[in-house]
Amino acid sequence: MVKNLIFTNKEIRFLRELVRHKVDFMIIGLSAAALQGAPIVTQDVDLWFQDLANPQLKKVLKKVKSIYIPPIGNNPPMFSGDAVKLFDIVTYVHGLGEFSMVKKKAIKIPLGDFKVPVLPLELIIKSKEAIGRDKDKLVLPVLKDVLKIIRSEKQYRRAKRNGHI
């Protein structure tokens, strides 16, 4: 996993408070891939929430001096405030199914003194393949290469642990 190069202290505080208040969320998309070691650059961080009406989310936002703005017309739901300006709200992820089922597969990535739930690279790839946008197709080879590296490192560690190396 990579050292945090993505988040400011305010953003880390927001994520820490989400975890502390047991708000069901996951970091998804290219920022999730970057947290798993992919050499990817992205302009925002996508957060997928189980329930945007969760009262704990409202408490967290208040604590970090931010607000939730519900969807209006064609405008998607969003956050407003310094601590949350990097984050985009995701309400649906193509090709993956319901949040509650996908969350069981989330991996925990250390971020300082706490861990954040992150969509595994395999599922990021599956989602990008399902949506099929040109920009997603362009990044798929990189994501697949990183996945191969991660899998081979796991196999190596497993073989070493079992005395095969």
pLDDT tens readout for residues 70-100: 999 999 999 999 999 999 999 889 999 999 9
pLDDT of residue 153: 81
Instruction: Show Cβ contacts of residue 119 under 8 Å, excluding neighbours closer than 6 positions.
Output: 26, 27, 28, 29, 32, 48, 93, 102, 105, 106, 127
The Cα–Cα gap between 155 and 158 comes to 5
pLDDT in tens, 12-32: 999 999 999 999 999 999 999
Question: Domain spanning 9-161 has what CATH number?
Answer: 3.30.460.40
When pLDDT is averaged across residues 46-58 and rounded to a whole number, the result is 96
Q: What is the mean pLDDT of the chain?
A: 91
Report yes or no: 78 and 69 within 8 Å, Cβ to Cβ. Answer: yes
What sign results for the dihedral spanned by CA atoms 2, 5, 7, 8?
positive
Q: Is the pLDDT of residue 3 over 70?
A: no
Residue 5 scores a pLDDT above 60: no
CA geometry: angle 140, 144, 149, nearest 5 deg = 150
Residue 96: the pLDDT is 94
Q: CA-CA distances (angstroms) from residue 91 to 4, 78, 113?
A: 25, 11, 28
- State the Cα–Cα distance between residues 36 and 26, nearest whole angstrom: 14
Q: What is the bridge-based pairing of β-strands 45-49 and 25-28?
A: antiparallel
pLDDT (0 to 100) of residue 161: 80
